[in-house]
Structure 1
Amino acid sequence: MTATAAEIFVVTSTGSGHLFPCTELCRRLISSGDFKTTLLLPSNLLSSLPSSFLHHPLLTIAQISPSDKPPMHESDPVQQQMGRDLEAHLSIRAADARPLCAIVDFQMAWTKHIFWKFNVPVISFFTFGASAAAMEWGAWKSEAGKIVSGEVRTIPGLPEDMCITFADLKRRPAGPQPADEPAQGRRGPPKPGDRPPWVPLIEGSIGLMFNTCRDIEGPFIDYIADQLNTPVWAVGPLLPEEYWKPSDSSVIDRQIRPPKHRSDYSLDEIIQWLDLKPRGSVLYVAFGSEVGPTAEEYPQLAGALEDSTRPFILVIQPGSGYLPHHGMDAKIGERGLIIKGWAPQLLILSHPSTGGFLSHCGWNSTVEAIGRGVPILAWPIRGDQIYNAKLVVKHLKVGYMALDGEHGSVLAMKEALVEGIEKLMSDTEARKRVAALRTKFDCGFPPTSESALDSFKNFIISQKENHFIKMV
């Protein structure tokens, strides 16, 4: 550590889609030795961090009260205790030197006021991509929420292929979720007239940081910077260092992302199964840990995989309540592998036998697939996933929608899914386009993102002696 190393706080929200990017951001910030970082997280998330991360000499872990979901209200006792814990950490720092800044996951925006009490400027961090934020902002400003079925509306300043359609705004059930989950967690895009829910959460920030890169989302990054008139840094994708190895090598998830749940298959068994399949032949089907098909939709998905001729891996989430029927294993034989519980997603996506990914289009899953050259069959369920899918299908043209948004009854889903699987797995042009995108990452972490990190470092150091100005 250099004698002049300054401290940066990184504040993460709950969920792997927030925790993993925040930990990788810490790694990137301390890589030069010019900064030390303090990762602020609920204490119940500590077990999700790999030991190699915890023992870095430039990293400090600051634990606050445990929470299973982001606290939403000032009156929330959990938030109040978290706030007291954060103030205690900052009081200790103030006795030495105040942190240079705090990079705050916007879902933890309530912490801004505590940092400001200690004169610490705040950068708002989006763990998802710039296209989703740009589309939500543009849809709000252009009143796209008022469009009707059959209408198309282009957003000035954004690519024409990302024009808003009625299907983009349509809601659908979000599958198995806790009954006490905040309503905003179940939403689709904002309703007509609504401003994006993140807008008030970033107010007062002196800049914005996105978990993306210019190679994937250049026009959307520029749009956000222009519309909000603030510095914007694209510093991702914030994926493990092992991910950036040569594209023909596998990534062993368990070493870098401790699993939350058990799996009924060992790592060796999954690798052996994949090794026996032809190159690019396997469809990987997974929905992450927080959303998924409904109880009525899961059987239609399973039926589509049965009727398809393609080899597949299906990951069934813990708590989904779905179990394959007794005859499914006999019907699919060695063609399918059904994993109940945790699956090594990075390893599966990096294996040469994997040729497609049926995904909910969570941002981490989306960039993990693109970076490994795997086309996507998109089944978005909520929030940013809807615009992530649009980016994949309409702008990057490296996949298809699994369902058209107006497919009718649940019983019609199976036929649509079978058709979508076949289109994805047989489309050589989509495969070529995603392979071309993958080459952007062949030399490791994107150079444009390295430059953005350097720009951020220079910016925040220049603010050190000045009183920070809140973004209006």
Structure 2
Amino acid sequence: MRRKHQEIEMTSPTIVLYPSPGMGHLVAMVELGKFILHHHPSLSITVLISPPSFNTGSTMDYVRHISATVPSISFHHLPTISLDLLSFPSMEAVIFELLHLSNPHVRSALASLPASAFIVDFFCTSSLPIAAEFHIPTYFFLTSGACVLAFFTYLPVIHNSTTESFKDMNRLLHIPGLPPIPSSDMMRPMLDRTWSEYQNFLNFSNEIPNSAGLIVNTFESLEPKPLQAIREGKCNPGGNTPPVFCVGPLLNTENQRGEYNEVECLKWLDKQPSKSVVYICFGSLGLLSAAQLRELAVGQERSGKRFLWVVRSPPTEDKSRRFLKPPEPDMEELLPEGFVVRTWERGMVVKSWAPQVAVLGNAAVGGFVTHCGWNSILEAVCAGVPMAAWPIYAEQHYNRVVLVEDMKVAVRVVEDEEEGFVSAEEVERRVVELMEGAEEVRREVEKKRVEAREAMAKGGSSVAALRKMVDLWTSALCS
């Protein structure tokens, strides 16, 4: 009855987006909403927000900014859920529990919203039965690439073929459409199949065939092999594979230089020679130990290369604060004595944050030492900046294999196998390679830069994929 009543009253389809609270996930989902409205302004977009009680980056500031600058996107704030953070082993476990406990509020929201489609982050899988109650077609949105979607689509095959955890396998995984992935490079929250995070991600994998479609923040020519494998059913042999829509690269690129024109690091970059600066940043949540920060500083200084480095405080040893925002870094305490003074003519260290899209788009930047988060990868590709791949958490080790072995847009930073520590010698070696050599990487990333722009232009593959989705939504409304 609700759906019939809603269809009579609706003048245009309303699309409800439900992101994970993590900054990278939220930004990508909002950019999807902006992309939809740019090409199909008659649609209505509502974003469900689960307010986090833990550090997810500056998400609430970002939501306020979007509310003020993009009034056509409305935000529906779900009630705050209180969690005992000390009882959770990982950030992923916290997020899954928050979203699970938010389900009654999601049900109330969907009951009040005339939703024609429900687009959910893969962390929000537990909300699928709610959408089914209201007969709302549900699409998964992958804030990671098609390489990650290929893995999740194939995960049930791996899971049912062994009782071993990834951490114990010590072998290469052969996932259709991808280069061989060492089991030790599997996504960090999934290394042990007894963990709750593993079970939640497996639940997502099992629900993939039941969705109306799979939306991926990528473009066709960036990941042709995994996309072909998924669409041909090789990742889900004998099962249903929903349609895959590549709608990327979705990036927050609007007014990047104008908005941050007075930021000191951009003024500094403007004074540097073309492609002479290596940009070092490990994402909004990537933290290095104090010892690793000092080692990185030593290696960077030895390289002799110009640099812009975003430094954050190390992970806290206080367990009560491990999921909270870290304090502002004390450079004198964290970096080697005299480092800032010795390198001031060719380097700049900034505290905690830099406008990354604007930085990567600056002509002075010629390389990017990155944690391999998907948003950062796309930002580098769109700027044509080659990468040195230094993963820290989540799916980043997995991404590194694909970046280096398949896409060939990055060089690999090699860490100690036991401790995961990167030596000063390795930092120096990879920075020099990135800035002086890596010619194949430089050619490939420039090629992908052009293709990314074409995908998002009029008549491009990502615009065409969006058109197909919108046609599905409007045809369902009329039927």
TM-score of Structure 1 vs Structure 2, range by shorter chain: 0.7 to 0.9
Alpha-carbon distance, 1:456 to partner: 1.2
Partner of 2:6: none
In the TM superposition, what are the counterparts of 1:331-342 in structure 2 within 5 Å?
A: 331-342=342-353
Structure 2 match to 1:237: 249
Cα distance in 2 for partners of 1:316, 1:103 equals 35
- Matching of residue 374 in structure 1 with residue 385 in structure 2: yes
Residue 40 of structure 1: CA displacement?
0.7
CA offset digits 1:413-433 (Å, max 9, x no partner)? 111121111111112332122
The residue number in structure 2 matching 1:27 is: 34
How well do the aligned residues superpose, as a CA RMSD in angstroms?
3.3
The answer for the alignment partner of 1:460 in structure 2 is: 473
In the alignment, the residues of structure 2 paired with residue 199 and residue 252 of structure 1 have an alpha-carbon distance, to the nearest angstrom, of 40
CA, structure 1 residues 215+190, in 2 after alignment: closer, same or farther (shift >3 Å)?
Answer: farther
Map 1:351-370; keep pairs closer than 5 Å: 351-370=362-381
Percent of aligned positions that are identical: 26
Q: CA deviation at 1:463?
A: 3.4
Q: 1:305, CA displacement in angstroms?
A: 1.0
Question: What SS class does the counterpart of residue 351 from structure 1 fall into?
Answer: coil
Counterpart of 2:225 in structure 1 is 219
State the match for 1:4 in structure 2. Answer: 11
C-alpha deviation, 1:92, in angstroms: 2.6
AA matched with 1:89: A
Which structure features the higher share of helix residues? 2
SS at match of 2:401: helix
Q: Distance in 2 between matches of 1:210 and 1:405?
A: 33
Compute the displacement of 1:163 (Å): 1.7
Q: Which of 87, 104, 110 is 2:107 aligned to?
A: 87
Deviation of 1:119 (Å): 2.0
What aligned pairs does 1:25-174 form with structure 2 within 5 A after superposition? 25-31=32-38, 32-43=40-51, 45-49=59-63, 51=65, 53-54=67-68, 56=70, 58-66=72-80, 79-80=100-101, 82-93=102-113, 98-135=114-151, 137-138=153-154, 141=157, 145=166, 152=172, 154-155=174-175, 157-159=176-178, 162-165=179-182, 168-169=185-186
Deviation of the 1:335 alpha carbon: 1.3
The 1:42/1:166 distance shift into structure 2, 3 A limit, reads closer
Equivalent-residue separation in structure 2 for 1:288 and 1:53 (angstroms) = 24
Q: CA deviation at 1:278?
A: 1.4
Structure 1 CA distance for aligned equivalents of residues 465 and 410 of structure 2: 28
**Quick check: 1:235–1:452 contact (8 Å CA) kept in 2?**
yes
Give me the whole-angstrom Cα distance separating, in 2, the residues matched to 1:241 and 1:337.
23
1:110 to partner: Cα distance: 2.0
Query: Quick one: distance in 2 between partners of 1:192 and 1:423?
Result: 40
Q: 1:71: how far off?
A: 7.5
Find the counterpart in structure 2 of residue 284 from structure 1: 279
Give the drift of 1:356.
Answer: 0.5
Change (3 A) 1:451 1:53: farther
- Deviation, 1:167, is 5.4
- Residue 236 of structure 1 aligns with an amino acid whose one-letter code is G
Write the letter of the residue equivalent to 2:106: L
Deviations 1:330-354 (A, max 9, x none): 2212211111122111111000010
Query: 3-state DSSP class of the match of 1:252?
Result: helix
Q: Deviations over 1:287-332 (max 9, x none)?
A: 0121232333222111111211101111112464662133111221
Worse-matched range after superposition: 278-287 or 321-330? 321-330
Q: For residue 349 of structure 1, what is the amino acid of its counterpart? A: L
Contact 1:71 1:78 in 2 (8 A): no
Give the CA deviation at 1:365: 0.3
Choose which of 291, 299, 308 in structure 1 pairs with 2:303.
308
* Greater Cα shift, 293-302 or 367-376: 293-302
Relative to structure 1, the CA distance from residue 191 to residue 382 in structure 2 (aligned partners, 3 Å threshold; closer, same or farther) is farther
Shift of 1:152: 5.0
Secondary structure of 1:314's counterpart equals strand
Q: 2:192 & 2:464 partners in 1: Cα distance?
A: 33
State the alpha-carbon separation in 1 of the partners of residues 290 and 314 from structure 2.
11
Conserved in 2, the CA contact under 8 Å of 1:104 and 1:123? yes
Equivalenced residues, count: 422
Letter in 1 for 2:427: L
- Correspondence 1:325 to 2:308: no
**C-alpha distance in 2, partners of 1:10/1:111?**
12
Contact 1:308 1:418 in 2 (8 A): yes
Residue aligning to 1:439: 450
Partner Cα separation in structure 1 for residue 69 and residue 392 of structure 2:
37
Contact 1:29-1:36 within 8 A present in 2 as well = no
Do the aligned partners of 1:128 and 1:211 also contact (CA within 8 Å) in 2? yes
* Residue in structure 2 matching 1:14, options 18, 21, 24: 21
Whether 2:464 is the aligned partner of 1:451: answer yes
Distance 2:455 2:214 in 1: 24
- C-alpha distance 137-77 of structure 1, shift in aligned 2 (>3 A): closer
Structure 1 residue aligned with 2:87: none
Contact 1:253 1:346 in 2 (8 A): no
Separation of aligned partners in 1, 2:422 and 2:92: 37
Distance 1:460 1:190, change over 3 A: farther
Secondary structure class of the residue paired with 2:16: strand
* 8 A Cα contact 2:455 2:463, kept in partner: no
Distance across 2 between alignment mates of 1:431 and 1:102: 39
3-state SS, counterpart of residue 223 of structure 2 = helix
CA distance, structure 2, for counterparts of residue 445 and residue 53 of structure 1: 24
Distance 1:444 1:202 in 2: 25
* SS of aligned partner of 1:23: helix
Q: Is the 8 A contact 2:384 2:448 kept in 1?
A: yes
Segments of 5+ residues of structure 1 without an aligned counterpart are: 170-183, 244-250, 256-265, 467-472
**TM-score normalised by L of structure 1:** 0.79
For the structure 1 residues 77 and 363, does the alpha-carbon distance in structure 2 shift closer, same or farther, using more than 3 Å as the test? closer
Structure 2 letter corresponding to 1:222? Q
Query: Residue type matched to 1:213 in 2?
Result: F
Structure 2 vs 1, CA of residues 139 and 425 (structure 1 numbering), >3 Å: closer, same or farther? farther
Distance 1:274 1:164, change over 3 A: same
Paired residues of 1:291 and 1:381 also in contact (CA < 8 A): yes
1:274 aligned partner, one-letter code: L
Equivalent residue for 2:265, pick from 265, 270, 285: 270
| Pairwise CA distance, 1:102 | 0.4
